[in-house]
Amino acid sequence: MTGIVSLPEREYVLSGNRACAGCGLGIGLRAIVKALDGKVVMTVPASCLTVLGGMYPVTSVEVPWINVAFPSTAAAAAGAAAGLRALGRGDELTVLAMAGDGGTADIGIQALSGAAERNDDFIYLCYDNEAYMNTGTQRSGLTPQGALTTTTWSGKRENPKDMPRIMEAHGIPYVASTSAVYPDDVFDKVAKARGLHGLRYVHMNTPCPAGWGFDPKDTVRLGKLAVQTGLVVLYEIEGGMFRLTGRSRALAKSQARTPVAEFVAAQSRFRGMDAKAVAALQAWVDERWSGYCARHTRTTEAG
Ligand SMILES: Cc1ncc(C[n+]2csc(CCOP(=O)(O)OP(=O)(O)O)c2C)c(N)n1
Ligand code: SF4
Ligand SMILES: [Mg+2]
């Protein structure tokens, strides 16, 4: 396990990019590219990630990066992986498809599902800031229930899709859930994915001060609070075996989760939620959490 102070010092994401102050995406991206030693070719659709990357002829990221049409991130990555293999460079460079929650769970899911079914050889990383942020905060299939967006004026009514579970159902070799505010957890999971072959899926929760409605100085605090409540869970599934990791693993032992009400109260996107809505969200989190703990226990008991 990598500790936060032992992450490689080499930086591939330069300072002075165009993301908002306090954006969680930059924190996560730095750890991701470090875990790949910069030996990566990325495919990226329209998103805050494109904005962070910058406009030609300048860029803030020192790795090759192909901007692709919104629905085709996974298809482009499959093509890039096949091309590298044909050139005999398949072992030298990892292909990383990286898209937002809208570009993954809604608009890109068809190409992603096809690539997973074929077990194409690349890492797909969804950074989940829980709405279409680049275009001004519209709801996505991963926006949490109760959140106000410009297309859910009275709060979103539905719970988000469980994207890692959808990917697990494809029978791919590796699925992981992480958070950008735990760069060591991000690093370890991407490094592990790098050492495997086939379609590897990593889901990264990414706090967004602009869209969630909190002060940019609180990005890490909010991201950690999401994990502390059990709304975001750190885990990995390898060869069908489910394991909690990092802070979530410690929480499963202590059973000392923070009430979701604390997380809700810290963001203006939830200002429309009444006590009943918060209780419903808590019940949803509790049920999912017991499912995760039960799966983790089954794995540890199986040795
Ligand atoms: C086919 C297509 N539809 C819509 C858009 C407009 N668009 C660009 S970025 C974006 C939001 C992307 O949301 P997400 O994937 O969650 O990434 P985020 O902006 O949150 O980082 C949209 C709707 C587009 N570029 N192409
Ligand atoms: S809108 Fe959110 S995700 Fe996008 S750059 Fe700003 S803080 Fe980051
Ligand atoms: Mg998004």
- Lining ligand 1 with CB less than 6 A are 46-49, 70, 99-103, 129, 132-135, 140
**How far does the centroid of ligand 3 lie from the alpha carbon of residue 114, in Å?**
22
Query: What is the phi-psi region of residue 58: left when phi exceeds 0, alpha when psi lies from -120 to 50, beta otherwise?
Result: beta
pLDDT at residue 254 tops 90: no
pLDDT on residue 172: 98
**How far does the centroid of ligand 1 lie from the alpha carbon of residue 295, in Å?**
34
pLDDT band at 5 (very low <50, low <70, confident <90, very high): confident
pLDDT at residue 153 tops 90: yes
Please give the share of the chain, as a percent, with pLDDT higher than 70: 100
Which of the two residues, 255 and 211, has the higher pLDDT score? Answer: 211
Q: Determine whether the shortest distance from the Cβ of 210 to ligand 2 is under 6 A.
A: yes
**How far does the centroid of ligand 2 lie from the alpha carbon of residue 132, in Å?**
10
- What are the phi and psi torsion angles at 64 (to 5°)? -65, 140
pLDDT on residue 143: 98
Mean pLDDT for 155-160 is 97
**How far does the centroid of ligand 2 lie from the alpha carbon of residue 21, in Å?**
8
What is the pairing mode between strands 40-44 and 65-67?
Answer: parallel
pLDDT at residue 295 tops 80: yes
User: Please, what is the average pLDDT of the chain?
Assistant: 96
- Asked whether the beta carbons of 232 and 111 are under 8 A apart, the reply is no
Non-local (6+) Cβ contacts of 155 within 8 A are: 145, 146, 147, 148, 270, 272, 273, 277
Which of the two residues, 58 and 244, has the higher pLDDT score? Answer: 244
pLDDT at residue 269 tops 90: yes
**How far does the centroid of ligand 1 lie from the alpha carbon of residue 166, in Å?**
21
Mutate to test the pocket of ligand 1, among 29, 73, 134, 212 (most ligand atoms within 8 A of CB): 134
- What are the phi and psi torsion angles at 22 (to 5°)? 80, 5
pLDDT digits (tens, 9 = 90+) for 119-146: 999 999 999 999 999 999 999 999 999 9
Residue at 185: amino acid letter: D
Tell me the CB-side half-sphere exposure of residue 41, using CA atoms within 13 A.
22
pLDDT on residue 145: 97
pLDDT on residue 231: 98
Please give the share of the chain, as a percent, with pLDDT higher than 90: 93
pLDDT on residue 128: 99
Residues measured by CB to lie within 5 Å of ligand 3, the ion:
100-101, 129, 133
- Which ligand has the nearest atom to the CA of 25? 2
pLDDT on residue 192: 98
Q: Determine whether the shortest distance from the Cβ of 19 to ligand 2 is under 6 A.
A: yes
pLDDT at residue 210 tops 90: yes
pLDDT on residue 2: 79
Q: What is the DSSP string of 267-292?
A: -GGGTT--HHHHHHHHHHHHHHHHHH
pLDDT at residue 95 tops 90: yes
Mean pLDDT for 34-53 is 97
What is the pTM for the complete model shown? 0.98
Single out the residue of 14, 7, 216, 24 nearest to residue 101, CA to CA.
24
- Which ligand has the nearest atom to the CA of 22? 2
pLDDT band at 251 (very low <50, low <70, confident <90, very high): very high
Distances from the Cα of 187 to the Cαs of 3, 63, 197, 223, in angstroms? 9, 17, 17, 16
